Each structure stands twice: as C-alpha cells, then as structure tokens.
Chain A
Amino acid sequence: MKAPTLSSWFGRGEIAAPPDIASATLRSDRFRLERESEWRRLEAIVAQMERGGLRRIADEDLLALPTLYRTAASSLAVARETSLDAATLAYLEGLVQRAWFQVYGPPRGFAAWLRGFLLGGWSRAVRAIWLDICIALFVMVAGSVVGWLLVAQDEAWYYRLVSGNFLDTRVPGASREELLQSLATEESAAGLSTFAAQLFSNNSAVCIFAFALGFAFGIPSLMLLVHNMAVLGAMLWLFNGQGLTLELAAWLSVHGTTEIFGILLSGAAGLHIGRSMAFPGSRPVLAAASEAGQRGAVVMVGVVIMMIIAALLEAFPRQLVDGTGARFLIGGMMLTFWLAYFFLYRPARQQPGDGT
C-alpha cells in the first residue's frame, strides 16, 4: 500500500489508468472492463446532480444522462445473466438505482409546479372530489341545524358549544344593544395584522386537522365539521333571539364565505381519503389511499391559501367596513369568485400531470 500523499487527501489523486482489457481471462470481466469508463462517467454525473449543481453540469453530460442510464440498466440486465462477480453486480445495482432517482426524479421545480397549480390544477382537484364536497356540505348544514336546535331547547348547551374565548357580551340574555355593539367595527387598524396572523394559524390548524383525520376513514373529519358548524348554529340562534340574524350573517359573510368554504374543502379532502380507504373498488387499499391522498394534498395547499385570505378579510374589512349591505357585497363577491374559479374555470391541460 502506498503512503498517503497530500494530493490524495485534497484532490482526486492521480487519474486511474485505463483498464487492461486483454489481460482479463474471464469474458464477464472483459465485458465489465469495456464498459467501465461509461459507468464511471455516469457515476460522476449522478454524484454531481446529487450535490445539487444542476446548472454547473456541462450540456453534453446532461444530454448523455438518459443514454448512459439506459446502457447501464441494460449492462446490469446482461451482467445478471452472464456474470458472477458479486462486487460488480452490487456496484451496478447501486449506480442504476441512483441514476434512476435522478432520471425519474420530481419532473419540475417547485415554481413550475406552483404555476400549474394556480392555473387549473387546483380547480381540477376540487372538481375531482365533488361527491365528498356534497357529503361534507350536507353534514355541515345538518351540524348548524343541530347546534341551533340544541341551544333553542336548552340554553346550557350554548356554554358547552361556544368556548370562552369569545367576548363575554355574546351570551344568552344579552340585550340587543350589546349584541349590536359586538358587531361594530374597530376604530383603527392597529394590531389587526397580528390578530390576522393568529386567526390564520388557528383556522389553518382546524383545516389541517380535518384533512389529516380523514386517515381514520373520514369519521373524525365529519365530527370536526359538525362541531364547528354547531358553534355557528348556536350563535345564529343567539342573534336571532334579538332579531339580528341578518346583521350577524353579513358580519360573518365577509370572511366566512372563504373560511367556511375552506373548512368544507378540507373536510371533503379528508373524507375523500377515508372513503377511498373504506371503499377502494378494484384497486388495492394502499394504492387507493395514495391516489386520494395526492388529490387531497393539492386541495389542501389551496385551502391554506384560502385561510390566509380569510384571515386577512377577517382582520381588516370585517373590522373596518360598516353596514350590512357593504358586508354582504364583499361576502357575496368572494363566494362568487371561489365558485367560478373552482367550477367554471377549465383551462385546457397544458402538460400531462400538471398540478393534479
């Protein structure tokens, strides 16, 4: 063994001598030595791609990558049938696997995916889960009706449903003036953006919960939807008792159309996964779960965006815009926009697998 030299520590050492093919007695070794330089070239390209220097790789290397990969794959297939050299086979298998990861890696960068997502991928995913959206909508309406009926029957239910985080004036027995006051606007915009940030993280937590719990066959997602809508039903009953239903609806609709739509979509996505796992049809359960999960993930990225928008709407216009008519206008516009974006916007698909 040679003494280690400084250059071999910091540099690549000396260039390996070209293999002496004729001196190999075995045909399989001659086969390997003939192809060794191509394999080493493929290994160098793959190692550089793994290090992340895609822009620094020479053009002819990138163009040669698919060919080198296929020749390595065919060499592996031949070597498996003709060679018993375990070290070479192990090396080839590792090399082909690494090259396979590079050649069949994620097809586009994140930015290109995001563009495809916003320009049609999201809408397509939402339309694909239409049945689950209908089921979730039915459950949500039922939940709010249940909340209303429960509180109408027994006021103690109000305290059980609505958590104490809300302002203390909004309780059964409050006067009309107090309730109207709670719907009034803020004086200024100071502090509203932190409020928005807190709302956003709270809302998105509920949505991610509803989606992720779909894993348990969708039942917890439905329960979460019912609970959230029961709170809404309870509050509607409270304001209805003083004849302020319309004002409350306007106040809520500014951000509520976006936020409730987002919760609906996330519950539907969770339910989609749950239903696919419970009724996979002719596919294996795991394959059904992964298809549903990928569709659901696309919807969920959109839901997070909707939650950001809802939080901004909740913090700023809701607190600054006064008047039932103006609030209904904003709420109605947002609802129309979302419905049109999801169900009417159908651009021609640009590339296969574009965002869905």
Chain B
Amino acid sequence: MNAATLPGQAAGKRGRVILTPEGLALPVTLASRGSRAGALILDVMILLSGMIAFQLLVSWIAGGLLEDAKLDPSGAPRGAQEFLMIVLVIVYFAAWYGYFLVQELGPRGATLGKRMVGIRIAARSGGSLSPEAVIARNLLRDIELFYPIVLILTLLVLNAGDEDIGPLPLVAAGWFALFLLLPFFNRDALRAGDIVAGTWVVERPCTKLAEALSTQGAAAAQGASAVTGARYEFGEAELSVYGEKELQTLEKMLRDAPPEALASVHATICRKIGWNPGEGDERAFLEAFYAQLRAKLEGDMRFGKRKADKFS
C-alpha cells in the first residue's frame, strides 16, 4: 500500500497504523503533545471550577455549620458537621478519580477537555480498551501531576513560613519535570500512564462525505461544458503524463479551490500535454481531464500497473 492510498495520514511523523481484528490496517494520527496538554489543562479547570462551585453551594446551604467548627474549643467536629465533612472528603476523592475514569470508559473514550480538543484514547494493540487499562493510566496521573504539585505547594508554604526545606524543591521539581517531559522522550508521545496501560491518544477523525466527482459537470458520462458546450477527449499520450499524486491534488482543487487557481492549473496542464489553452470554461476542462485520467489510472491499477507521480 503506497502513500497515495492512505490520504488520511497527517504530517507523516504522527501517523500510525492499527491492525483491526478483521485484518484491516487503519491509519490513525497521534494527538500532538500541545493538544494533549491543552486537553489536560481544560480538564483540570473544569474539575476545579466544579469543585469550587460545589463548595460554594455547600457553604451557602450549610455555611453556619462549617464556621462553628473553627470556633469550637474542643476541636473535634460533632454530628452534622462531621457528616458534612465526610461527604465533602468523599465527594472530592470521587470527583478527582471518577471524572476521568467514567468519561474515558464511556463510548467516546474522552473526557470533556479531550472532546473539546478533538482527541480520544485507544488501545495500542488494536484490541478493545479494557477498564483495567483506563484505571492504570489514571492512577499514574497522580504521581505525574497531583502529588508533585501538592508537594511543591507545601514546600512553598513552608518556605514562606521560614522553615528550612533544603534541596527538596529541586528534587520535587526534577521529578515533576521528568514525568512531564516523558512524552517528549519517546516516539509515540506516551506518558508514564500510557506506557503502563498500553494505550495511546489519537485524533478523532471527522470527515464528511464529499460529492462523487464523476457524476457532475463535464466529468459525467454525456458531459459537456455547461458554458461553452465543448466536449473534451484526451488520448493515451496526454493521459500518461501525470500520476496518482497529481490526480489527487487536482481532485482537492476541484473540490475546494477558487476559479483563479483553477485557471493557472488549466494553463499548466495544457502546457504539459501540448494543448492550446483556450478561453472559457476552465473548470469543465479540468473535470473532464480528471475523470479520464482517473479512469485510465484506475484501469491500470486493476492490472497492477501503478504510477505514483509524474516522475515515476
């Protein structure tokens, strides 16, 4: 399978292939490190604002209960306060783990932040994503992200309180940097959680089905130019100049490009095949050329003769 038949691959370096159980090779694009960082930041912001909102709600409903706890000389909370504090501790614990676990195990395999950025999780082996893998990768996020931040904040607080903390901040920063930069040290942009769980993060495909070009305009069976009425017939010599790569570039231009670009392509092709470039309907010329070139190249493909581009 040469490069011309895998048009979905982006930028070569981030393209990988998954082998499905049916034996089909599916190209996937790994998510860029920037998009993963962005998704993580979004997720943490959503979680924090959710927790703050919940805390404000609880204070608004039961504020008096929590304030008394600080004034109580015996120190231990009683009754309803105790219950409320337990609920808060459990809610925060469940929120931190549950947010990532439940969403990554869902049908989209992506948390809210990942969904906004357009990426999702997949199993590296090509099989199904097991709950154990998702749990493993989320447990490791604790030592990559949560504990270093808590440690550094604690050290900063201690430092502000004029306590001697020695070389610990450097150690913590070094450890943090090691795990944070791990995706930069391997080819598949895997963080520690990905390595241990056997997953990777890929971009979500979303292409719309475009029109079939050979049913429209001058490419159609009885096609003639709607503007000039001319019909174009190209011979073997003219159609042997270009290969598959040029064909697909032409297709993209026919779908997307403005008329001025089409005019310059028209002129280039005419020069190459030795025709006189006429005035009038460039688009019709290009559509007819496209259809007949594609018919020829596909016919050759069925016999195993492939021409990758105009130089081969």
Report the bound CA distance from A20 to B128 in whole Å.
Answer: 39
Report the bound CA distance from A353 to B179 in whole Å.
Answer: 31
Report the bound CA distance from A104 to B7 in whole Å.
Answer: 24
**Are the CB atoms of A73 and B85 closer together than 8 Å?**
no
Report the bound CA distance from A194 to B28 in whole Å.
Answer: 48
User: Separation in Å of the A13 CB from the closest CB of chain B?
Assistant: 13
Chain A residue nearest in CB terms to B90: A197
**Are the CB atoms of A81 and B301 closer together than 8 Å?**
yes
Report the bound CA distance from A356 to B220 in whole Å.
Answer: 57
Contact among A19, A77, A294 with B132 in the assembled complex (CB-CB below 8 Å): A294
Contact among B128, B136, B223 with A294 in the assembled complex (CB-CB below 8 Å): B136
**Are the CB atoms of A98 and B298 closer together than 8 Å?**
no
- From known contacts A28-B298, A215-B140, A297-B136, infer whether A94 and B8 are also in contact, taking CB-CB under 8 Å: yes
Digitize B191-233: 1 where CB-to-A-CB distance is under 8 Å, 0 elsewhere: 0100111100000111111101111000111010000000000
**Are the CB atoms of A25 and B221 closer together than 8 Å?**
yes
Within 8 A of A (CB), among B2-31: 4-8, 18, 20-22, 24, 26-28
Report the bound CA distance from A95 to B208 in whole Å.
Answer: 9
**Are the CB atoms of A94 and B220 closer together than 8 Å?**
no
Report the bound CA distance from A19 to B7 in whole Å.
Answer: 24
User: Separation in Å of the B47 CB from the closest CB of chain A?
Assistant: 17
Q: Is B295 an interface residue, CB under 8 A from the partner?
A: yes
**Are the CB atoms of B251 and A85 closer together than 8 Å?**
yes
User: Separation in Å of the B239 CB from the closest CB of chain A?
Assistant: 13
User: Separation in Å of the B307 CB from the closest CB of chain A?
Assistant: 11
**Are the CB atoms of A76 and B24 closer together than 8 Å?**
yes
Q: Is B82 an interface residue, CB under 8 A from the partner?
A: yes
Q: Is B183 an interface residue, CB under 8 A from the partner?
A: no
Within 8 A of B (CB), among A66-111: 70, 73-74, 76-77, 80-91, 93-98, 100-102, 104-108, 110
Contact among B24, B122, B207 with A77 in the assembled complex (CB-CB below 8 Å): B24
**Are the CB atoms of B214 and A194 closer together than 8 Å?**
no
* Residues in B whose Cβ lies below 8 Å from that of A191: 75-78, 82
**Are the CB atoms of B139 and A94 closer together than 8 Å?**
no
**Are the CB atoms of B22 and A70 closer together than 8 Å?**
yes
Within 8 A of A (CB), among B122-163: 122, 124-125, 127-136, 139-140, 142-143, 147
**Are the CB atoms of B212 and A294 closer together than 8 Å?**
no
Chain A residue nearest in CB terms to B89: A197
- From known contacts A273-B196, A289-B196, A297-B135, infer whether A91 and B301 are also in contact, taking CB-CB under 8 Å: no
Binds A, one of B37-45, B50-58, B100-108, B266-274: B100-108
Q: Is A242 an interface residue, CB under 8 A from the partner?
A: no
Q: Is A298 an interface residue, CB under 8 A from the partner?
A: yes
Chain B residue nearest in CB terms to A72: B24
**Are the CB atoms of A297 and B26 closer together than 8 Å?**
no
Q: Is B284 an interface residue, CB under 8 A from the partner?
A: no
Contact among A50, A88, A97, A290 with B133 in the assembled complex (CB-CB below 8 Å): A290
Q: Is A36 an interface residue, CB under 8 A from the partner?
A: yes
Q: Is A296 an interface residue, CB under 8 A from the partner?
A: yes
**Are the CB atoms of A50 and B76 closer together than 8 Å?**
no
Report the bound CA distance from A87 to B142 in whole Å.
Answer: 42
Chain A residue nearest in CB terms to B142: A208
Chain A residue nearest in CB terms to B127: A104
Count of chain B residues with Cβ under 8 Å from any Cβ of A? 85
Chain A residue nearest in CB terms to B88: A197
- From known contacts A94-B207, A208-B142, infer whether A105 and B247 are also in contact, taking CB-CB under 8 Å: no
Contact among B28, B125, B255 with A97 in the assembled complex (CB-CB below 8 Å): B28
**Are the CB atoms of A84 and B213 closer together than 8 Å?**
no
**Are the CB atoms of B214 and A105 closer together than 8 Å?**
no
**Are the CB atoms of B128 and A106 closer together than 8 Å?**
yes
* Residues in A whose Cβ lies below 8 Å from that of B125: 287
* Residues in A whose Cβ lies below 8 Å from that of B213: 29, 85
Q: Is A213 an interface residue, CB under 8 A from the partner?
A: yes
Report the bound CA distance from A27 to B248 in whole Å.
Answer: 17
Chain A residue nearest in CB terms to B210: A87
Q: Is A193 an interface residue, CB under 8 A from the partner?
A: yes
* Residues in B whose Cβ lies below 8 Å from that of A85: 212-213, 251, 294
* Residues in B whose Cβ lies below 8 Å from that of A86: 7, 248, 251-252
**Are the CB atoms of B196 and A290 closer together than 8 Å?**
yes
Most buried by A among B105, B107, B132: B132
Report the bound CA distance from A28 to B207 in whole Å.
Answer: 19
User: Separation in Å of the A210 CB from the closest CB of chain B?
Assistant: 10
**Are the CB atoms of B135 and A301 closer together than 8 Å?**
yes
* Residues in A whose Cβ lies below 8 Å from that of B22: 70, 73-74
* Residues in B whose Cβ lies below 8 Å from that of A22: 221
Q: Is B302 an interface residue, CB under 8 A from the partner?
A: yes
User: Separation in Å of the B228 CB from the closest CB of chain A?
Assistant: 20
Q: Is A249 an interface residue, CB under 8 A from the partner?
A: no
* Residues in B whose Cβ lies below 8 Å from that of A20: 215
Could you tell me which A residues sit within 8 Å of B by CB distance?
Answer: 19-20, 22-29, 32-33, 36, 39-40, 43, 49-50, 52, 54, 70, 73-74, 76-77, 80-91, 93-98, 100-102, 104-108, 110, 113, 190-191, 193-194, 197, 201, 205, 208-209, 211-213, 215, 273, 286-287, 289-298, 300-301, 353, 356
Q: List 24 A-B contacts (CB under 8 A).
A: A26-B295, A33-B215, A36-B209, A54-B107, A76-B24, A85-B294, A86-B7, A87-B210, A90-B7, A90-B8, A91-B208, A93-B8, A93-B205, A96-B24, A104-B21, A106-B129, A106-B130, A197-B85, A215-B192, A286-B124, A289-B198, A293-B196, A294-B133, A301-B135
Can you list the 5 inter-chain pairs with the closest CB atoms, starting with the nearest?
A: A290-B198, A191-B76, A94-B205, A293-B196, A297-B136
**Given known contacts A82-B298, A293-B133, A297-B132, what 18 new A-B pairs fall within 8 Å (CB)?**
A27-B298, A43-B209, A49-B107, A73-B24, A84-B297, A94-B8, A97-B205, A100-B26, A107-B130, A110-B101, A190-B78, A197-B85, A201-B89, A212-B139, A290-B124, A290-B133, A292-B196, A300-B139
